[in-house]
Structure 1
Amino acid sequence: MFNNLSDRATKNFAKKLRRAMTKQEKHLWYDFLQKYRCKWYKQKPIGKYITDFYCGHVKLIVELYGSQH
């Protein structure tokens, strides 16, 4: 699996991505997911990947594609 250093680096990178959301990510988060009844997470690290949005209750990942990907 991954060592603690790469896990820490992934988590730190996810924090940076949360602070620098794209226009489309902000729109989806502030206009819908933030207020949705299930708990959603922004830029959630899962293994070596970072998802755009994640809901553990329904086991759903939402990825937005654009020029940044």
Structure 2
Amino acid sequence: MKNNIHNRKYLEERRKELRKSLTPAEATLWKALQRKQLKGRKFRRQHSITNYIVDFYCASEKLIIELGGAYHMSFAQQNYDYERTQVLEGLRFKVIRFENKLVFENLTEVLEEISSHFKA
């Protein structure tokens, strides 16, 4: 790879902080994704791509999973999320988003939606 866009050194401390303080929704989803539990795919949490730290990333699928709560409902935050998604999709990543509430209320549906984005 010409210039590495993954896990840039200057974001390392921030990634570690975020891993230590997962939101309850992130912790719940992580329990279902870690150790290749979802169809044998390896996921990373709080992985950085360019200048962004994404909640979950599956390298083999180029799949990014983002969770959000009420904070992501503000106009400014929605604009930021949209721009960020555009940049990541421009780098050929697939970005899917879920509300925190859905992780708690229907984890099975969330996992099915995630796996529906896996290549055969």
Which TM bucket (shorter chain)? 0.7 to 0.9
* Within-5 A mapping of 1:51-66: 51-66=54-69
Tell me, which stretches of 5 or more residues in structure 2 are unaligned? Answer: 1-7, 73-120
Q: Which runs of 5+ in 1 are unaligned?
A: 1-6
Q: Secondary structure at the match of 1:57?
A: helix
TM-score, length of structure 2 as denominator length: 0.48
Instruction: Determine the structure 2 residue equivalent to 1:23.
Output: 24
Runs of 4+ in 1 over 6 A off after TM superposition: none
TM-score by length of 1: 0.80
Determine which structure has the larger helix proportion and give its number. Answer: 2
Determine the C-alpha separation between the residues in 2 that align with 1:65 and 1:9: 24
2:60 is paired with a residue whose SS is coil
RMSD: 1.4
Q: Give 1:66 shift.
A: 1.6
Greater relative contact order (Cα 8 A, min sep 6): structure 1 or 2? 1
TM-fit CA distance, 1:68: 5.5
Larger Rg: 2
Does the residue aligned with 1:39 lie in a helix, a strand or coil?
A: coil
